[in-house]
Structure 1
Amino acid sequence: MTRLLLVDDHPVVRAGYQRLLELDGAYRVVAQAGTVDEALDLHREHQPELTITDLGLPGPGGMELLRHLLERDAGARVLVFSMHEGEAMVRRTFAMGARGYVSKSSAPEELLDAVACVMAGRRYLCGALPAHWLQPTPSNDLDGLQSLSDREFEVFRLLAQGLTPADCAGTLHLSPKTVSNLQTQIRDKLGLASAAAMAHLALRRGLIDAQFSS
């Protein structure tokens, strides 16, 4: 029986996932987490065969969880189950090492298909999203976002949401100087001169919700 870790900041949502997955008979949820820190601790304790995570977690967020898990164990299997359907976000998660991506707007059965596919050693992208997003990003695509490192990408998203560099430093457990340097590198790579420009690009590429750009 495949052992799973569920990560979502809504307990009711996690309970629904657990019922859906365990009714299949092939899966057992060994732990649930609502934050990145909880997920990392529980992953270390239970060593699940697959982690299913949302991206919109409080604090550092699901992409930081993905990064930390794969730094700790390059063979860790992570399936993203998220409301975000933007191309840049989907491509970035696969580039970081996610094995699958399912939109929360998908039918429940698609999550089961995704888990089965990932456990069989294949990558999975839900049918609602274009299949070619599984392929490497063209070098001239996505406004230069592919040029950002994983750390720069996450700082970019947080700044685009309106966090200050100091807020980003606290959220990501970095020094303010490091975040300031990253902010400069991001602006240079993307050719953006202001936080507003960052927010507009992030909104256009589906990396943040409209509420953050107002």
Structure 2
Amino acid sequence: MHSIVLVDDHAIVREGFKRLIEMEPDLEVVAECRNADDAVEAISQRRPDLVALDLSLPDGSGLPLIEHLRSVATGTRIVVLSMHDGEPYVSEALRRGASGYVTKGAAPEELVAGLRAVMRGEQFLSSDLRQRRAERPNDTLDPIDRLTAREHEVFLLLAAGRAPKQVAAELGIGQKTVYIHRASLMGKLGAGSELDLYRIASERGLLPNRG
């Protein structure tokens, strides 16, 4: 059974998503939260497999929350469910650590498809977002947007100074797999070393503030 925490400030929206998700026999909503503070508490206690997160919350934007959750619950993946369909929102959510982005205007079955894709370690965008990106010249994409969800996880950990052995332990994958992901993501980012990864992540504000 895969556990999910829903974060949205509208009770009727949460209820609709919950009913849709729990029609799947192996998916369970273990907590519902209406703001960022509740979400941090629930996710810290429950350690769910997935978080379905709205970006518009009463106590602020969900974008900083993505980054915070990725640092305190490294094994939890995040899918954004939002009315915001602009590319800046999508790119920033993915940069901060979300593994998927589904607009609230997408077909209901896309939510379940997105959750399952992210559980497989893939990056997922709802069909309206995929179509928009397909119509845009590929060379305008930020290189980070080309990383898979797993490559993004490996990238952030390597950029933060983790050794491949530590990355493997934190993500529950083999060290050889880490090296494969590292080679792929470094090629996509044009990075020649871990120092380059640190620079790329630092320039985009993806590293936790140590000050």
Q: Smaller-chain TM-score range?
A: 0.5 to 0.7
Aligned to 1:125: 125
Shift of 1:46: 1.1
Query: Structure 1 length as normaliser, TM-score?
Result: 0.62
Q: In structure 1, what is the Cα distance between the partners aligned to 2:109 and 2:204? A: 34
Aligned to 2:144: 136
Q: What are the equivalent positions in structure 2 for 1:46-85 lying under 5 Å apart?
A: 46-85=46-85
The superposition leaves residues 13-55 of structure 1 with CA deviations (integer Å, 9 ceiling, x where unpaired) of 1011000000121200000000000000001111111000000
Aligned to 1:141: none
Shift of 1:95: 0.8
Q: What are the equivalent positions in structure 2 for 1:1-214 lying under 5 Å apart?
A: 1-129=1-129, 130-131=133-134, 136=144, 149=205
Q: In structure 1, what is the Cα distance between the partners aligned to 2:100 and 2:4? A: 14
Query: Structure 2 length as normaliser, TM-score?
Result: 0.63
SS in 2 for 1:89: helix
Q: How many residues align?
A: 146
Checking the alignment, whether the CA contact within 8 Å between 1:5 and 1:50 is kept in structure 2 is yes
SS in 2 for 1:136: helix
Q: In structure 2, what is the Cα distance between the partners aligned to 1:99 and 1:149? A: 17
Q: In structure 2, what is the Cα distance between the partners aligned to 1:76 and 1:47? A: 7
**AA partner of residue 144 (structure 2):** P
Q: In structure 2, what is the Cα distance between the partners aligned to 1:136 and 1:148? A: 10
Change (3 A) 1:148 1:47: closer
What is the RMSD of the two structures over their aligned residues, measured on CA atoms? Answer: 2.5
Aligned to 1:180: none
In the alignment, structure 1 segments of 5+ residues that lack a partner are 139-146, 152-214
